[in-house]
Each structure stands twice: as structure tokens, then as C-alpha cells.
Amino acid sequence: MSEEIRNRVQAVLPSVRADLEDLVRIQSVSADPERLSEVEKSAERTLELFRAEGVDAEIVRAFDGAPPAVVGEKKGPAGAPTVLLYAHHDVQPENDPADWDSPPYEPTERDGRLYGRGAADDKAGIMAHVGALRALGDDLPVTVRLFIEGEEEVASATLPQLLEQYQDRLKADVIVIADSGNWDIGVPALTTSLRGLIRVDVELRTLTHAVHSGMWGGLAPDAIMALIRLLDTLWDESGAPAVAGLASGPAADVEYPEERLRAESGAIDGLSWVGQGPAVERLWTQPAITVTGFDAPKVAGASNTLSPVARARVTIRIAPGDTAENAVARLEEHLRANVPWGASLSTTVVDTGEPIALPAQGPAYDAARAAFTEAWDGTAPVDMGVGGSIPFIAEFLEAFPEASVLVTGVEDPDTRAHGANEGLHLAEFERVVLAEALLLRNLGTNAG
């Protein structure tokens, strides 16, 4: 049966790729109000694709005007396990098209990669599900349920409502979330931990209004000066977070070669790393603090005045084992304790997301590891952490506490998701489709 499934995947792959390219051409940027009709179009096309594979599917919303999601079901044999397949059909903005080597919404193959916004994140996740169903056809060994989200790139605001409203139609024994990646080309992975996230706007005020720097400089502290001094306290001398009370822990025993770190990060020659401990711990299971925005007068046209107010957005990636509530509280405590010169501090929580640590054991993981090893011709999957955040996984764990959650995906170290020249490695994509078909086979076989 394994060789037959492999042959079936190879047979359907041309049509799967063609359908992926059609999806990429749809500019489903959920963050752009002017392209919400494109998000609707991508939901409709996604619905058509799954219906063509025998899935009883429909478009649903948390309320009128909310982003469109696709839910559905294709029944397997009586008594077979139920598997929920997740992906998302919305994409990130393309930003400046001039940064792309080919038009972002015209899928283009170069050197074994298919380039285009959403070619990997996450329209390839959708097509991995479609491809597995297409290859298995009427021999589906499990009952498959479907949830294809339309707002993942804008924080999944209505996801909790959808999970509550459609819980009976989404409940499953195993949940496959195809929104992550693999360790390297030729080395598959299961994502078993992800950092959480908090974003907090920090504002300091030192004056009621701007004043002349010649008249008052040297006596009155300006807000930019105070904010820089405050922000500097967030890190120790090594660049590691200096906010007390944030959790950290060990990471999987995986070697991240120095040459890969430098190539994948885009580090300039001579740059030193920040933090302490193994690289994978600093990236996956330790907190990281970043200033992602700064409001202050622009250099061009700046006047000789002391700024009365300045603001920065502070982002903390929080380690598995921590909580967003704790991270916000510890950050605010630290800021209050370190405000310089009696400046007035205010903080605003922008958003939060919880970290995840999955147990990564049990029959579903056994089935997945066997499927991945077979699809990658004997190379076993790595248990991988991810430094980024997928906050909605916590929502699934809360809604379906009895389910085994498998986080898979199509990305590799050079995918460049969210950036210019996002690309899908086509040979790896074939393995991903094969692995999912084999996983569904294994889950059905093990249940029998």
C-alpha cells in the first residue's frame, strides 16, 4: 500500500501544483481592507477544492461581516478515528513589490522553488491537505474534518467564537495543523514547542510641551533621552533579557550549525550573537525582548527642541512554561522600577499570545513519525521548537483537550515567509503531501 500511495501522490501532484498556483494568484491579504473581496474569493476557491475531493464543506463566519472560514467533513469507515485538518487561506501583505524578484502574486518557478506570496504560508498547507485527500480518493481510512481559517495573519480574532459555535463539527481525535516547517531540506520535523508573545506600547513623558534645546538642554531631560535610558535596562551586558521573573527552559537536543545561523539570519560579517546558552535555547525556549517600533521626531526636518513625549513598542517572545499574563506583569514591574528622572510612564498592552509545549508522544505521534520517516526515505523527523508564535494553537488545546495536536508544515530555512521572495521548495512539498497521506493511512490502520 505504501508504494501505491507514493504513486498516487506523484500522479496527482501536477494538478495539486496547478491549484496551488491558482490560489497564490488570489491576493487574500486579510490586513488590507481594500482586498477583503480577495479574502472572500480565496475562501470560495478553497471551498471548491475540498468539495471536489468529496468533502461536505461550507463557508462559515463568527458573525455577519467576519472573515470567512471553511469547515467540512468527509466520512471514513465506521469506527475510524476523526482527524481535523487545519490551514489558513489568508496571507501577509507583499509590502514593496520592488523587493521581489518576480511579481508576488504571479507564481514563478526558479531553481526548484515556487515563488509567490502564500506559496508556502499557508496556501501550500491547504494544498497539502487537498493533495493527501486527492491521492487517497475513496480509500480514506479515517474521517476527516476541516477548518481552513481566513484571519490567521491578523491574529485570529474570531477563532474562539468559531471553535465554540462549530465545536461539534470540528471535534477530533487528532488535529493536524499545517502551518509550520521542517528542520532542513531533506530533514522533516514535528514542531513541539512555540514561544508566546506580548506586545506593549511604552510611553514616557518628561515635559508638558516641547522647549528649546539651547535654553533647557542640560537641565531638563527630554523624553527620547529618558526612553532610551529605560529601554536599555531591558537587557543585560550580553544582550539577554534582564526582566526578572520570565520563564526559560531547555530545548530539544538539536545542533544548529553556525554557518546556517549566519546564512538564515542575514547577519552581517563580524556580528556577535546576543544572549547566553545554546543557540536553540535562545531561539526556542528562552524569552527574547525586541523594540519593534519607536515614535519620535524624524531626522529629516528635526528641530532643536527637547521632545516632551516618546513611545516605543516592546515585544517579548515568551518561553514555553510561561504565560502572557505573567510576562506583562513582570515587564510592567521592571519598567516602573527603572523609570529615570521621575518621568511619567504609561503602558498599553497591544496583544498577547500564549506559548505552547506539546507532549509529543502517544499513538498519533508514533503514526506521524513513521509517516515522515517513510516519506523522507528513512530520515526520521526532528522534534523542533519554533521561536515565533502561533497563538491559536492554545485555542485548539483549550477547545479540544482530549485531542492529539500535530504541528506540521511545508516551510524550510529559506522559505522567507512574511518577507519578499517567499518560496516553496517543490521537492519537499511532494514529501509533505506524501507524509500526510501516509499519516492518515497510519492513523486508520492503528485504529483497526
Other C-beta atoms closer than 10 Å to the C-beta of 16 total 22
Q: Is 164 a catalytic residue?
A: no
Q: Count CA atoms closer than 13 A to 214's CA, side-chain side.
A: 2
Catalytic residue among 21, 38, 90, 374: 90
Residue with cell 513519525: 369
DSSP E strands: which ranges in 319-381? 344-353, 356-357
Query: Could you give phi then psi for residue 292, rounded to 5 degrees?
Result: -100, -5
Catalytic site includes residue 44: no
Question: 261 burial class (0-12, 13-18, 19+ CB within 10 angstroms)?
Answer: middle
Rounded CA separation 129/217 (Å): 63
Q: Which of 122, 151, 152, 354 is catalytic?
A: 152
* Dihedrals phi, psi of 260, to nearest 5 degrees: -70, -40
Sheet of strand 309-318, all strands in order from the earlier edge strand to the far edge: 288-295, 309-318, 196-205, 344-353
Query: Who's near 437: CB < 8 A, 6+ residues apart?
Result: 5, 8, 9, 131, 132, 135, 136
Residues in the chain: 448
Q: In 10 A of CB 437, how many CB atoms?
A: 28
- State the cell numbers at 44: 470560495
Please identify every residue annotated as catalytic. 90, 152
